[in-house]
Structure 1
Amino acid sequence: MNEYAHIIYQKTARILTVGCGLLFAIFSFVYLYVFQRDSLEALHYSLAQGRTHFAPMASALVITLILILLRWGINSLLGLKGKVRTLSYLPSFFILWALTDISHDVYLSSSVSPWHWLLPLLILLFVLPAFWLRKTFRAELNVEGSLIGLVNSNVGILFLLCLLTVFIGNTNRSFHHELSAEHALLTRNYNQAVKVGYRSLEATRTLTALRALALSHTGQMGDKLFEYPQYYHSEGLFFDDDSLSVLRYTNDSVYQHLGSRPYNGEDHLSFLRRICYKESGKFTALDYYLSALLLEKDVNEFAATLKDLYEPADTLPRYYKEALAIYADRYQTDDLAGKVDSLLITRYQDYKEKKKQFTSPTEERNRMRREYGDTYWWYFDYQH
């Protein structure tokens, strides 16, 4: 290779080194700050036991800087050149994998992540063979070949490592929604909590319970509960007892919010009824109980509870009115006259007429969801 070609090759190699470093920095920051921010916050909370504040942008920047410095340190030791230069980023990617490959057991003190031993082992298994291979193939690495081959090989290695990082990190959308809603609740940003996954038809029981808790804090349970999918009936107001299905919030959080706890063996519906009628809970318990009755589609008991416990002068939330429209239509009663306005009754009649226009149950369910999917009527008739 002549001197001019040698100079061009060296300049290209330096530009490639800087370019790959920039690409890695952008990927690492965006991946940590945008896509894995909730996972990073959960890991920080678990490691710090909630004693320090989490700053997502600063954390992503600091981690990215450390990973870049690690890459320079690794390559100073190994001296990788040519087409395999970007392999020196591998230990940095190992750390990214360890930081973002988390699951529901992240908060459990008994949880032992395999990354505790896997991360140092992987770094050791990379450094030692790479150091030996670098000495063995020193001459081959110093050969200046095709510029296109140099660029394609290094960029290709970096791209594959980025792709592998995305596959290894936790990308479960429902899990990230849970983490995001939970973090918003912890910081008392209740309005943000209810916005998490707003347009998604997926909803785990944990996310459903977190939303209910956030809606209760904002006083919007009766107005917004059925804007979200409700797949768990009244149990969706409470968390699962399985410690591997919940995160930082558990049923103890709900009981504290309601101001009372159930007796041993007492089911949640009976518990809510007891504390409402005995007035042994907080004011938040009434909306929980009324919502639980709606989720169980017990409009008869709902109407009776409303007459017993709701102040007559109070304006009813949206879904309470929609439930009363069903109750009045089913039982042909005007016991709650004045609680439901004529416009809502007219819309409910239109809803019933619209249902008769379809011959296919599947088409009926889907078409009615488009127009009435955020109503209690749709939940009452179509959600099993």
Structure 2
Amino acid sequence: MSNYSVKDGTRVVRIACAVLFVSFTFLYLYDYQDDILAMAQHVLSDGLTHYNRTIGAVLITVVLWLLQIGFYALFRLQGRAHAVTFFPSLLTLTVITSPDNSIDEGFSFGAWLVAWPVLMLICTGVMWYARQVQQYEPVDSSKGFLSRRAWINYVTMCAMFVFVGLFSNHNDVFHYRMHVESCLNDSLFDEALATGEKSNKTDSSLTSLRIHALAEKNQLGERLFEYPLVGGSAAMLPNGKSVKYLMYPEKNLYKNLGCWLKQHMSTMHYLKFIHQHKLATKSAHDYLLCAYLLDGNLDAFVHSIGLYYDIHGQMPKHYREALTLYNHLRSNPFISYRSTIMETDFQDFQTLIHKYNNPVERAAALRDTYGNTYWWYYYNQYSCKSKYSL
């Protein structure tokens, strides 16, 4: 095989690997890790700078590509080991996309402080050895993008891409949280509510963010129990521990509720305080009612709802569901409420409860049919613990 053919084949492999690297890195940064990087920059700069996903993805991709070019220039790996020159860049990409929600407690590279230099040394040793044996590689009879040499490099690149995916931050709930916070910062409430809506995974912080987004859309009483919920009423307001915002200003939440108090209070204490002092907004009324529902406190809910809604007029869906449930649980209800449509649906819900003897099958059937109702939430959270049985 002529020198021209060998050089041409090497150039093809280099171009193909570079295209794979640049495409993967840019899309990974732009479409998947953009909110994580925005969070990291916001926390590390104390909110003084703002991450731009396009500029950030382009700049990081270019810098990492230049790092690969530097290792290629140093070791001149042109054969089957050429893809290894991309590992330092992909390792660095993994490190910068690995921060989690503890970054606000103090920045630390964690295990990467040891792993990054060790892996870089190992990779450097592998490249040095590959350079020594490169001249002894057998000559490929095939040429072009689908040659044996090319396929070996493609497989190596894919293996390194998997490495990036496995060891960077791939926590679904954390990604949902950061994207919701980004959307709230831009007042994109619909997009915030659509984020992760088909997933059953959540945590207290994501629950709090979704509750705020629903309140901004005046849909709290209509759609709250369509989402997976964790933490009860305590998850409604940030507490700096189990419920915290990393990018979104808490003052925006409290402004929507009525006032921001410097003194920390529990959710119920805060909501009752602003109502007693006539500071509560309409959103705060819904917060209070939904707080009672989240805690399964139907009696407090029923004693409060008449202050903010006409129980014989139009009410949000979940409030009607809660009143229907309450009237079935109490022999002497404080409020007598009856809706023909709600009554029919609730009877079907009860029928489904008694249809299955297996608790797992029963729960799955109820969740599939009534997973977007307050009835399912109450049954799942409180029915077994309550003296009142559904």
Q: TM above 0.5, one fold? A: yes
| Contact 1:80 1:134 (C-alpha < 8 Å) held by counterparts | yes
Give the aligned partner of residue 371 of structure 2.
373
Mapped contact 2:189–2:213 kept (Cα < 8 A): yes
Residue 92 of structure 2 corresponds to residue 99 of structure 1 = no
SS at structure 2 position matched to 1:354? helix
* Preserved contact between residue 226 and residue 374 of structure 1 (Cα < 8 Å): yes
- Is structure 2 residue 80 aligned with structure 1 residue 83? yes
Does the CA contact (< 8 Å) of 2:44 and 2:107 recur in 1? Answer: no
Matched, 1:113 2:113: no
Q: Residue 33 in 1 paired to residue 30 in 2? A: yes
The alignment's TM-score, normalised by the length of structure 2, stands at 0.84
> 2: distance between equivalents of 1:353 and 1:119?
57
5+ residue gaps, structure 1, are: none
Measured after TM superposition, the shift of residue 206 of structure 1 is 0.8
Give matches, 1:236-255, under 5 Å.
236-242=235-241, 247-249=246-248, 254-255=253-254
Number of corresponding residues? 376
Q: CA 1:96 to 1:244, structure 2 compared with 1: closer, same or farther past 3 Å?
A: farther
Q: How far apart, CA to CA, are the structure 1 residues paired with 2:230 and 2:119?
A: 45
Q: Report the alpha carbon displacement of residue 375 of structure 1 after superposing the two structures with TM.
A: 0.8
Q: Does 1:58 align with 2:55?
A: yes
In the alignment, residue 63 of structure 1 is paired with which amino acid? I
Matches within 5 A, 1:280-319: 280-310=279-309, 315-319=314-318
One-letter code aligned to 1:112: S
Q: Which moved more, 1:161-170 or 1:354-363?
A: 354-363
Cα 1:142–1:63 shift into 2, 3 Å: same
- Counterpart-to-counterpart distance in 1, 2:298 and 2:111: 51
Counterpart position of 1:183: 182
Tell me whether 1:17 sits opposite 2:10 in the alignment: no
Could you list the per-position Cα deviations for residues 23-49 of structure 1 after superposition, in whole angstroms to 9, with x for gaps in the alignment? 111111222122222212222323444
The 1:155/1:285 distance shift into structure 2, 3 A limit, reads: same
Sequence identity, in percent?
Answer: 25
1: CA distance between counterparts of 2:80 and 2:67?
20
List, as ranges, runs of 4+ consecutive aligned residues in structure 1 with deviation greater than 6 Å: 262-265
CA distance, structure 2, for counterparts of residue 253 and residue 18 of structure 1: 49
Q: Which deviates the most, 358-367 or 266-275?
A: 266-275
Gap regions ≥5 residues in structure 2: 141-146, 383-390
TM-score (norm 1): 0.85
CA–CA separation in structure 2 for the residues paired with 1:268 and 1:119: 42
Counterpart of 1:308 in structure 2: which amino acid?
L
Counterparts of 2:49 and 2:261 in 1: how far apart (Å)? 34
Post-superposition Cα deviations, 1:205-226, rounded to whole Å, max 9, x if no partner, equal 1111111111111111000100
Superposed CA offset, 1:229-256 (max 9, x none): 1232211212343279653358666444
Per the alignment, residue 5 of structure 2 pairs with 8
Q: Deviations over 1:308-343 (max 9, x none)?
A: 344678631111111111222333568656x75422
Whether contact under 8 Å (1:325, 1:340) holds in the other structure is: yes
Q: Is the 8 A contact 1:93 1:161 kept in 2?
A: yes
Go from structure 1 to structure 2 and tell me whether the alpha carbon gap of 1:264 and 1:188 turns closer, same or farther (over 3 Å shift). closer
- CA pair 263-26 structure 1, distance change in 2 beyond 3 A: closer
Q: Which moved more, 1:152-161 or 1:319-328?
A: 152-161
Between Structure 1 and Structure 2, which shows a larger proportion of helix residues? 1
1:61/1:206 CA distance change after superposition, 3 Å: same
CA distance in structure 2 between the partners assigned to 1:118 and 1:226 by the alignment: 45
Q: Which amino acid aligns with 1:111?
A: F
Aligned 8 A contact 1:209 1:239 in 2:
yes
